Amino acid sequence: MSTLICFKSGVLVAAGLILAVQPISAAELTAADFLKVDGTVLKREKGKGAVVTLRGTNLGGWFVQEGWMSPNGRGTLRGEGWRTAGSRGTHATTLDAKGRTGWGPGALAAAEEFTLDIGQLRAFDQMVIDFGPGSPPRGLSLRVSRDGATWSDMRLQSDQNPAGGQIITLGGSCTARYLHLRATGDTGAPWSIAAINLRQGDDYTVRMTLLDRFGEKEADRLIGVFQETWIRQADIDNIRTMGMNVVRIPLNWLDFMREDGSWKPDPWMRLDRVVELCRQRGIYVILDLHAVPGGASPWASSGREGDDGTGQNCNGFWSGPEDQGRLIRLWEKIAAHYRSSPAIAGYDLINEPLVHFDETPRPGQKYSDAALQKAGLFDRVYRAVRAADPDHVILIAAYTVAPPDNTAYIGTPSGFTGITPPSFHGWTNVVYETHHYDMSNARSHEAQHNLVVNALKDIAHFQKEWNVPIYAGEYSLYGFYDVWAEWMTGLNALDVSWTNWAYKVRGGADEPGGGNWGFYNNNQNAVPDINQDSADTIAAKWSRFTTTEFTRNSPLIEVVSRYTPGLPPAADAPRSVTLAPGLPAAGNELMVETVARRPAMGHLLSTAADSPLPTASR
């Protein structure tokens, strides 16, 4: 992209065009601020007024907790329909929830085997074994399988279970139906396994564990304690101080509905409060349905993790009319509730929809089968929303991933490979949303720079060809502040709205789950044990995650704040970098049958002494 960009007295000169750069007003939003699409831009006064480019952040980890960034801990998978088999002994007693019964074939001999069939594909990242009387087994190994025919060995990290037993943590989340334990030791001593449980750190499993342990009322109270802690009025003030005029709020269907699809009594209270706080401060809100029933992608960020082996979430969203029906009913409710609100910038219908890892068109196809399937579902939701709210902007995900490492697509083919243009179904007043990560190359300045160059070309192309506004809804460029500057300069020049991921994360500055994933990071307070802690203890631990207990990421705030009102960078930033202390030689190692997702491989810091952009303080 060879466009010359310079700034003169608040005017942007790009490719021969002169575009006025409007300062962001802090005045509250009124009916005159209602946004609609006009060509490739958003405008006030329902599309008749001044151009508005949205620049802000994601309130990630709030309504949808993600274990790498949120203090959600792990929940326990429900054991309905599980079956066991063993080399000998009463193996079925491991599932009877009685600590005095278990599988104990007598004196431990080598090659004792135990197989667990959990009835369907489920994602988990931890196995908890409670030992019965006698000595614990020695030399346990674990293999997993989706189909009972093809098996993969798992590398394990074992820790003692305080309740008596062993906690086996996998090197990342695994999706399987069959688990095969083998005791390779030979002690000759009596031993037994009293119980086996599987745990998972996604939002769905944590919520179901709270529900099973405490009942609906208390579970909802605990979720409320966390949500009222994670985002408060001071956080909206922080965002306003950074010059931002939009937040994207990832929503969770389980805040509105019970698991059976019935409605919760008052799902609006916390969301309405934050929408109003934003409206009063001149901040628009994008409502992003991040977690849909069953999960629209295979990652924990979809609310419920699980991969069928092709990239489709195994929990039924893409194959189940019931889940899709709930999605449509939910959007009808949301659209009716916010129909007249000028604070709502738009409805982001489905976050990161993925039918398969490979969604490229086959020879002779203009659009892939996956793109047509996604567009068909989007069209159903679009028309349901339009019946309830004819005026608000609707956001359509231009999203797919790039095999074999499943990194969000940048370049050609792009995320636009995963969807059809607005003219295909006759959509109007829509914005197409892209996400941008190169997680496999988080430590490479060249890779992150190339991501930006290719993405800006891609965005400019489809913005023109499809005559539609583009919104970069999620991205991170790790510790390369000059690349952040390059990216935001390019987006602003194209009048492309943007929100980085995310506002806050609990990891430290040099941890994969911290650093420049958030404007606030490094909260090392204890995460609740969802399976063992009392309700009061869970609430007390979650109450320690207000932003005042995080560290302000001043370098990132300073860089991004330069671009929120569309102002020019102070100067070009150099590209010299060094790795942050503690950065691993290799990235996060997820074991066989795992899927890479946020966070990426590490945190990078620009340390050029002559850089006009800030260096990281540690």
| Both tokens assigned to 595 | 């899927």
User: Of 58, 496, 56, 518, which Cα lies nearest the Cα of 244?
Assistant: 56
Tell me, what's the pLDDT at 104? 53
Mean pLDDT of the residues in the chain: 83
CA distance 600 to 577: 18
Strand order in the sheet with 36-38: 36-38, 41-43, 51-52
Listed in sequence order, the DSSP H helices in 354-400 are 369-388
Treating both helix axes as pointing N-terminal to C-terminal, what angle do 369-388 and 321-337 enclose, rounded to 10 degrees? 40
Q: Does residue 137 contact residue 185 with C-beta atoms inside 8 Å?
A: yes
Handedness of CA 129, 131, 132, 137 (dihedral sign): positive
Q: How many CA atoms lie within 13 A of 604 on its CB side?
A: 28
Query: What is the percentage of the chain residues whose pLDDT exceeds 90?
Result: 67
φ, ψ of residue 606 to 5 degrees: the values are -80, 125
Whose structure tokens read 């009913």?
A: 329
Tell me, what's the pLDDT at 23? 43
- pTM of the predicted protein model: 0.86
Q: What is the pLDDT of residues 234-288, one digit of tens each?
A: 999 999 999 999 999 999 999 999 999 999 998 999 999 999 999 999 999 999 9
Q: Does residue 282 contact residue 26 with C-beta atoms inside 8 Å?
A: yes
What kind and span of H or E run contains 112?
strand 112-131
Q: What is the pLDDT of residues 502-533, one digit of tens each?
A: 999 999 877 777 789 999 999 999 999 999 99
User: Domains along the chain?
Assistant: 5-73+205-605 (3.20.20.80), 78-200 (2.60.120.260)
Q: What is the 3-state secondary structure (H, E, C) of 276-287?
A: HHHHHCCCEEEE
Q: What is the pLDDT of residues 336-345, one digit of tens each?
A: 999 999 999 9
Dihedral, 66, 67, 70, 73 alpha carbons, nearest 10: 130
φ, ψ of residue 419 to 5 degrees: the values are -155, 165
Listed in sequence order, the DSSP H helices in 258-307 are 269-280
Q: Does residue 508 contact residue 514 with C-beta atoms inside 8 Å?
A: yes
Beta-ladder partners of 154: 142
Name the 3-class secondary structure at 183.
strand
CA distance 132 to 194: 5
φ, ψ of residue 302 to 5 degrees: the values are -85, 0
Length of the chain: 618
Displacement of CA 9 from its chain's centroid (Å): 39
